[in-house]
Structure 1
């Protein structure tokens, strides 16, 4: 999934959680102690939403100097421990992971130009090009050089059904390097061509069994048991 797509997911998560706290009781209902307690909880939830929205805005504006957790927590006037918990609860990912998404998005835009990996690392506020390598292999499942060349890798792909609809997954030897959702029947071919155009220097092989394994892992409900062993080529994404 692209970083743009991940940021859309974060924004959607925030929106849905905010909608859960927008209900207002009527004047008669306020008399109930239970509803009064709910209103207090609702006010706190609205405050937490504003804090996390402010934190996201701060990270988007300042990611190039790679702010620490303490710095961002101070911006929203909570302790680092409390901020870590709040951000993960409301945004669905940790502050560190969101900062990594912003950083790799910036690095990708730089590498599309003639920028070297060293220059891209400096522009993103990273201490070395090895950190660029780690970000790409962890979040994009390719090396910076492979991304810049748009390939020289083998991508196994397939369509799979999820609770969000039909999805197209592409998997390199390091993990998932492509994820898109199919809106209509005609979109399946278009999505496949889009992936092949994006990774135009790569070799593509359909592998329904492998894609089914990945889909089961990433779209499994948190209440369902997960496999104990990692999938082939999978890297940590937590």
Structure 2
């Protein structure tokens, strides 16, 4: 199973370059030699949660022929997203939180949206739902995806708008060893960290990647770098292997033909 992850598209009708960046990322996915079986978009789909922004967002995704699974971020509007993106599987009423069962790798999207807040939240109801759904299929390898990562970055500004309920989520995941990865967005940086028995990975935004100045952790001083996507490949026996990809058109070069290296 081959999964592409995009994040933090921040579509804004007043800033058309953001939608154009999303269109470039979508075009990149359509030119991959192997078509992704699914695309995950881990929140902040729009900048203000406005209907016209979601219309532009959906139009930019229209070239994708595979299922696209979304979860809300702090810039999104949950009601708008629930109206436009029907739950693709068993879900939690009132939240954009659901399980996708018809894949070799079970996918569970978590809704960390906290209305009016930059930070995210997993309340008792959302955590109890996750615990119950994971308990229903203990033998099935499972990937969780969400907007706010359940880790701290060490950057005080970003950690102040991090996830509430992080410790409680860790306790839930610890009870379910079939969780092979937790994917998130929000920080606009490619971070990797241990969490419970598994690993958290964050995907940067489609418009830019942040390179922070770690010498000033009390501030958020960054360099803007080219956008990145994450590509995840699941294979029985090998598990989940993840790649970082720059969503740009470039020639494919065969370095090894299966028997020998190219000259």
TM-score (norm 1): 0.28
TM-score (norm 2): 0.26
Work out which structure has the larger RCO, using CA pairs closer than 8 Å and 6 or more positions apart in sequence. 2
Q: Which has the larger radius of gyration?
A: 1
Higher share of residues assigned strand:
2
